[in-house]
Amino acid sequence: MKPMGRFHGTGGELFVLFLKNGFLTLITLGIYSAWGKAALYRFFFSNTEFAGHRFQFTGTGKEIFLGILKAFLLLGAILAGAFALSVVLTFVMPKAFASAVFVTAIYGGIILLSAYSLFASTRYRLSRARYRGLAFRLEGSPWEFTQSVILKVLFCILTLGLYSPVLLHHIKSRLFNQMRYGNLKFAWDAPIKEYWVLCIKGYFLSIFTLGIYYFFWKPQMYTFIRKHLTLGGQRFQGSFTPGQFAAQVFTNIFLAIVTLGFALPWILVRDVQFRLAHLALENPEILEAAVKAEAQKGGATAESLAGIFDMDVGVGF
Amino acid sequence: MAVIWRGRAHLFDGETSKPLQIDLSLEPDGLEIHAADVSRFVGHYRRKVLRWLEVREDGLIRLELTAHPGVLLEIQSQEARHFLREHGLDRVHWLPHVSLAAKVSIAVMGLVLFIAGFFLFGLDGFSRLVVKHIPDSVDRELGEKIPSLHLISDTTIGPVTCPDLDSARSKSIALIQSLGAPGLEGLRVEVAPDTSIVNAFALPGGRVVVYTGMLRMLETQQEWLALLAHEVGHVSMRHGMRSMVRSSVLTITAALIFGDAAGLSAFIFDNAQRLTTLKYSRVDEEEADAFASEMLLATGYSTQGLAQLFEKLDRVQEQPEWSAFLSTHPASGERIAAAKAKAVGNKNALSDFLTEAEWKALRSGCGP
């Protein structure tokens, strides 16, 4: 496999960008963070090359800022709603039950909102991503996605996590299968049974071997996820050896420790470089065959919600 | 016309993903496409119709041609980047940005000043305004959120009670309530049996908690009445609620700035617990002092107790066992002076209002 990905950015550039964003965010009392986020996206997108061409982020700081405002209003409304509910409930049931309902409503709301924002933020990022002049998009609606996830989340809790690979498979499958590049479709055909076995084996063996198996498991997962992903019928490829992965991880840890965390920008860039250096597409000619499809709208509200919950479950290129 | 750079580049027409090869030159007044896979793009484009998207350090240059919506031009050349910078060709886009940055900076500085001004001068007034619109029942509800004393301190026993102490409490409460100050309907005094804690505080809604450690330090009934009147002042003027509003505004602002919803939710869940560690503002403390003075004078008692209490606070500044009370009630020289000034004018103090047995039960927390 000849790698087709390449990252042009450097840790130094990212470090300067972090400094600039941090400083401006501080003196503007946080307002600049939206523009800072847009600049970060531009840095990562514009520096990412695949099959000879680079990505482009077309989103703006302004729309992310409006998204943050809407996200906070939405959160406030939900909290106020839950509070009002608990007040009303105190009239009809004992206080302890009312508080239990309140807490359940809050946690339930957070789970629902997390699922919603996972979908909607992925949709936002894809809709603002351009490659060779054409945009990506994510079909389907965030509510539909949220509904499809909710029972599975409950099962995960009930089975103490044994069901979680099914949930992860479902999320990946939904997101990948609804992704489009122009008129070309992405598809993910990973058999659920194999995925479940791979995950469970990974969790338990990693624990039993005190983490050693993790370095064998992660490369397996990476290859498995990519080999089942197609674009316009062409399969993605990508693999690395446990040795390469361990070297990558340990170097990152070493850098983080000796620089007391200051190497973070370099570590992030190294990671993107590592992933891109192990990614290819069976027949890249397909990338020239995409035709423009209808552009997708969709604000940055969920993008900000996902940011608030510190949730960044990328679709994993 | 002087050609500043000539080379090959890619053009994406926005309709397909196929890159079109173009031969172009950058010129001081725009760019010229000499040849392209699709002939309709060939021609001269003036500076005005070029929209520069990015010029990156590694030589990636991206621009749009406003005459052809959706068309993207990509040049990859360090040489082209240097020429662009040298001749200021890409400034068509950057120039208005500079002035916008200035506008944004001014707006932001204005906002910073506004927020700082609000926190320094407007927050107190704002909290008063908000509290006016919150019903009294919410204060009581909040006060009750502290279910038992062991949540407040290490004390594992609940508030103490015995007939003499109960009657001392009822007499004290009745005396204060007889004044008719607002918000004192639910007034309640709890004596916490812990001699190691020298502290007293008032929770919103009228729950006043006094530790026996504090009661033992009191020498006269006038001091006790002054202490109680001061704490009741916080209740009557709803300082607890005001302080909550102030800290809510601070927390929410901080959460907005740092995007920290976890902190926000923690604040909402933990707020009841915070009531015990609330620090009233200097203005709140002075208001409570004034309330105590007025109340003592109105009920016919001497304000000497208040002055004595403050003098005691002044003396014990360095003693560690007083640190809990002093941290929330700083004994400033001005407060002592104000209390003393009022005490001088009132010589007709009434005698003690509690019997010997009641006073003893109160000071010892029903102990021996």
- In this structure, of A269-283, B11-25, B131-145, B336-350, the range with the lowest mean pLDDT score is B336-350
Whole-model pTM above 0.95? no
- Between B253 and B138, where is the model more confident? B138
Task: Report pLDDT for A66.
Answer: 86
| Cβ of residue B108 closer than 8 Å to a chain A Cβ | yes
CB contacts of A29 in chain B (<8 Å) are 111-112, 115, 257
DSSP category for residue B204: T
Do residues B94 and B106 lie in contact, with contact meaning Cβ atoms separated by under 8 Å?
no
Residue B90's pLDDT is what? 63
More confident position, B164 or B277: B164
pLDDT of residue A70: 83
Burial group, residue B88, by CB count within 10 angstroms (0-12, 13-18, 19+) = exposed
Amino acid A261: pLDDT: 84
Report the alpha-carbon distance of residue B10 to residue B72 in Å, rounded. Answer: 8
pLDDT at site B273:
44
Strand runs labelled E in chain B: 5-12, 20-27, 30-36, 43-46, 50-55, 60-65, 72-76, 188-192, 200-203, 207-211
Quick check: A134 and B72 CB within 8 A?
no
Confidence of residue B258 (pLDDT cuts 50, 70, 90): low
Amino acid of residue A212: I
Strongest mean pLDDT among A57-66, A100-109, B190-199, B322-331: A57-66
Question: Is B14 within 8 Å of chain A by CB?
Answer: yes
Closest chain A residue to B20, measured at CA: A132
Alpha carbon distances (Å) from B84 to B5, B56, B73: 9, 12, 15
Instruction: Express as a percent the part of chain B with pLDDT over 90.
Output: 5
CB contact under 8 A, B19 and A307: no
C-alpha distance from B209 to closest chain A C-alpha (Å) = 24
- Please choose, from the candidates B171, B179, B181, the residue with its C-alpha nearest in 3D space to the C-alpha of residue B206: B181
Measured in angstroms, the CA of B180 and the nearest CA of chain A are apart by: 30
CB spacing of A289 vs B17 below 8 angstroms: yes
Nearest C-alpha in A relative to B18:
A288
State whether B17 and A42 contact (CB < 8 Å).
no
Exposure class string for B339-363: b at 16+ Cβ within 10 A, else e: bbebbeeeeeeeeebbeeebbbbbb
Which candidate in B16, B17, B141, B144 is best for mutational testing of the A interface (most A CBs within 10 A)? B17
What's the pLDDT band for B289 if we cut at 50, 70, 90? confident
Residue B53 confidence (pLDDT) above 90: no
The pLDDT assigned to A84 comes to 82
More confident residue, B350 or B104: B104
Is the predicted pLDDT of residue B271 greater than 60, yes or no? no
In angstroms, the separation between the Cα of residue B215 and the nearest Cα of chain A is 34
- More reliable by pLDDT, B179 or B71: B71
Q: What is the pLDDT of residue A167?
A: 93
Q: Looking at residue B337, what is its pLDDT?
A: 73
Distance CA B255, CA B263 (A): 7
Task: Select from B53, B56, B259 the Cβ nearest to the Cβ of A307.
Answer: B259
pLDDT of residue A293: 82
How confident is the model at residue B137, as a pLDDT? 81
Confidence bin at B330 (pLDDT 50/70/90) = low
B356 is catalytic: no
Residue B149, pLDDT above cutoff 90: no
Cβ pair B16:A68 closer than 8 A: no
Comparing alpha-carbon positions, the chain A residue that sits nearest to B15 is A292
Segment 258-287 of chain B within 8 Å of chain A by CB: 258-259, 261, 264-265, 268
> What are the chain B neighbours of A53 within 8 Å (beta carbons)?
10, 19, 74
- How distant is the Cα of B273 from the closest Cα of chain A, in angstroms? 16
pLDDT at B204: 81
Read off the pLDDT of residues B90-142 as tens digits, 9 standing for 90 and up.
Answer: 654 433 444 556 666 777 778 778 888 887 778 888 888 888 888 888 887 77
A274 and A251 Cβ atoms separated by less than 8 Å: no
Residue in A133, A290, A307 closest to B13 by CB:
A133
Please state, rounded to an integer, the average pLDDT across all residues of chain B. 76
Contact B58/A8, CB-based, under 8 Å? yes
Digit-by-digit pLDDT tens for chain A (317 residues) are 788 889 999 998 899 889 888 888 888 888 888 899 999 999 999 999 999 899 999 888 888 888 888 888 888 888 788 778 877 887 887 777 777 877 887 888 888 888 888 888 888 889 899 999 999 999 988 889 999 998 998 888 898 888 999 999 999 999 999 999 999 999 999 999 999 999 999 999 999 999 899 999 999 999 999 999 999 999 998 889 999 999 999 999 999 999 888 889 999 999 999 999 999 999 989 998 888 887 666 666 656 555 444 333 333 33
Closest CA–CA distance from residue B262 to any residue of chain A (Å):
8
Among A199-213, B47-61, B143-157, B189-203, the range scoring the smallest mean pLDDT is B143-157
